[in-house]
Amino acid sequence: MEYVIRISRDNEAGVWIAVNDYIPLALESESLDNLIERVRVAVPELLELNNLPLARYISFFAEMREEVAA
């Protein structure tokens, strides 16, 4: 089993956000590295709490949007 975690950057708030609706997971952190570590810890706990199949893999897909100066 593999779970896909979507990561995006909220520039206005200055944080990275990790989301998976199935698990359910929603975390944020100022650091991408810190966020990934928090996800690694939280996913097994959430899977157990929600009686979901354990994950062999977690895939991360990150997105960051920047405005291009004119």
pLDDT digits (tens, 9 = 90+) for 41-62: 999 999 999 999 998 999 999 9
What are the tokens at 3? 């779970």
Determine the residue type at 13. Answer: A
Q: Which domain holds residue 24?
A: 2-13+20-63
Structural domain total, the chain: 1
Tell me which H or E stretch contains 49.
Answer: helix 32-49
pLDDT at 70 > cutoff 80: no
pTM: 0.88
* 68, part of any domain: no
Determine the residue type at 51. Answer: N
